[in-house]
Structure 1
Amino acid sequence: MMSTTHAAIGVTLATSTLWVSPELAVPAALGALAGGIFPDLDVAVVAHRKTLHYPELYWPFVAVGFAVALLVPSPVTVGAAFFLLSAAVHSVTDAFGGGLGSRPWENDDQRGVYAHRRGRWIAPRRWIRYDGAPEDLLAVAVFSLPGLLLYGELVRRLTLAMLSVSAVYVLVRKPIGRLGERLDV
């Protein structure tokens, strides 16, 4: 899945704060948005879906983060809790997408996300065939609805920017994969 899809899922999760503590809803959404993107920062640096993706190991930190946010609610603690939750959900949901190959639509790679405690790769489920697939755009559009409809200007603008980036990426995803193959990347 695209990073923007993960970020939109995070913002959707953060909408729970709108009914509990509306004054903390924006920090929750911003933390969730950043947490949804964070695991993918390993894409250009080290082993993607292995270095910053922890499908099992984020969850204890999520529990601690939410305990702290409940005991000491503030923009920082709530934002951090939703950052951790969104990073954890991102790490798990990457297994629902495609593999890591440069042309994942060919199903030639069986690495979905690395499970550190198990010491092995979890196979991709391909519910979303590959990052940037048309169904990925549908997912980011659906998960963007809370950001567009329930939040104010800042979150709405960021959500629109993510949707725009997503649409462009879907249009260029396959040509990028083909270019990488021609350049032997």
Structure 2
Amino acid sequence: MATTHALLGMLLAVPVLAVAPEHAPAAFLAGFVGGLAPDLDLYAGHRKTLHYPVYASIAAVPAVALAILAPSTWSVGAAVGLAAAALHAATDALGGGLELRPWEGASDRAVYSHFHGRWLRPRRLVRYDGAPEDLALAGVAAVPVAIAGGDAVATVVGGLFAVSAVYVVLRKRLAALAERLVELIPTPVRPYVPARYLDPEG
């Protein structure tokens, strides 16, 4: 879930709170944004256009080194944001495939690796976005972030987790609803609809 990625990104900011608390607000914000940012490609080549499991990880290394050597709001924010984006892309490979109903396991595409020039296959350690284990992972990330981050961060975390819980309950119904709604989309608009809605097998 996008909310799980956001919470995992914010989790990366917790060490900053311990060693450089003055930069923690920027780190939490950067973790949130970096965790969500790759999914901005949802309607334009999802899990390919803005997902870089290898290159983002490589880029995060010097960014983290710079943040350690010359900590500032900008260097720490960039390090956490890049690391969160890299973590997002990498963890997508551990989940289900890129399809409308990923619990059926029909797709062999999890996330595109520009480094390898091919799609990485889904590992399905989390069977699909919105699976109960996805919510459990969100909870594991949410607890330390909420405890360490203070009232404002805890409020954001609580909201993210609540959205996650509702999504998990409705996940399979939303897929069925999407299939019905896509039939109502006018033909001229169909090229702008993500492929998985037009081809549920992904």
Give yes or no for TM over 0.5.
Answer: yes
Distance (whole Å) between structure 1 residues aligned to residue 19 and residue 150 of structure 2: 17
- Which residue does the alignment assign to 1:142? 140
Partners of 2:65 and 2:125 lie apart in 1 by 33
Instruction: State the match for 1:9 in structure 2.
Output: 8
Whether the aligned pair in 2 keeps the contact of 1:30 and 1:155 (CA below 8 Å) is no
Aligned-residue RMSD, C-alpha: 1.3
Aligned pairs for 1:76-95 within 5 A: 76-95=74-93
Normalization by structure 1: what TM-score? 0.94
For structure 2, the 5+ residue unaligned runs are 183-196, 198-202
**Runs of 4+ deviating beyond 6 Å:** none
Q: Which residue identity lines up with residue 95 of structure 2 in the other structure?
A: G
2:117: which partner in 1? 119
- Per-residue deviation at 1:121? 0.7
Q: Report 1:3-152 matches (<5 A).
A: 3-44=2-43, 46-152=44-150
How far does residue 76 in structure 1 lie from its aligned partner after superposition? 2.1
One-letter amino acid of the counterpart of residue 15, structure 2: S
Helix, strand or coil for the counterpart of 1:124?
Answer: coil
Instruction: Describe the superposition over 1:102-155 as per-residue Cα deviations: whole angstroms up to 9, x where unpaired.
Output: 011111111111111211111101111110111111110111011211111221
Q: CA deviation at 1:156?
A: 1.0
Equivalenced residues, count: 183
3-state SS of 1:96 partner:
coil
Please say which structure displays the higher CA radius of gyration: 2
The secondary structure found in structure 1 opposite 2:64 is: helix
The CA deviation at 1:18 is 1.9
Once the 2 structures are TM-superposed, how far is the Cα of residue 62 of structure 1 from its aligned partner? 0.8
Distance in 1 (alpha carbons) for counterparts of 2:79 and 2:21: 16
Partner of 2:157 in structure 1?
A: 159
Shift of 1:181: 2.3
SS in 2 for 1:164: helix
Whichever residue aligns with residue 27 of structure 2, its letter is: A
Taking the aligned partners of 1:118 and 1:77, their CA distance within structure 2 comes to 29
